[in-house]
Amino acid sequence: MNVLEHVAEPLALLGRIHRALPDDGVLCVTVPNDFSPLQRAFLKVKGHLPWFVCLPDHLNYFDFKTLKVALDAGGFTVFDETALYPLELYLLQDLDYIADPSLGPVAHRRRVEFENNMKEAGMTEVLDHFYRTLAQGGYGRDAMVVARKK
């Protein structure tokens, strides 16, 4: 979880994981979904610099498509993908936690409240569908995939 973007040679790491993983094993990978459509919309509308570019910590930047390409090159086939709530929705609604970091906890609480309310309402299947739909469009905050060996 949130490791691959920090690794100097992610394809080499995926190769090592492939060799170590049992044939019936699965690999779950989560990376920030950087340069997403929602991030780009916010940058365009508000003129912010790309806050998600985190040099020197992030050596690689992935989205759903490039993560699948990397996993394919590492010998994996993605069989499930989902996303996390895109906090950029709050940015596009003028809850600018980038300009005012004190708003970050507010955005986080709203996301947690949304998820908890959906679960309390017995709508976890709807919540799962929502996150998978976000992933299909590339809109999630993080790209989360599950893959198996080819």
Q: Which domains does the chain have, with CATH numbers?
A: 4-149 (3.40.50.150)
Q: Give CA–CA dist 147/129, Å, rounded.
A: 19
Mean pLDDT value across the chain? 95
Q: Give 55 or 29, the one with higher predicted confidence.
A: 29
Residue pLDDT, tens place only, 70-97: 999 999 999 999 999 999 999 999 999 9
Please compute, for residue 134, the number of CA atoms within 13 A of its CA located in the half-sphere on the CB side. Answer: 24
pLDDT recorded at residue 15 = 96
Whole-model pTM? Answer: 0.89
pLDDT recorded at residue 58 = 93
The confidence band for 9, taking pLDDT boundaries of 50, 70 and 90, is: very high
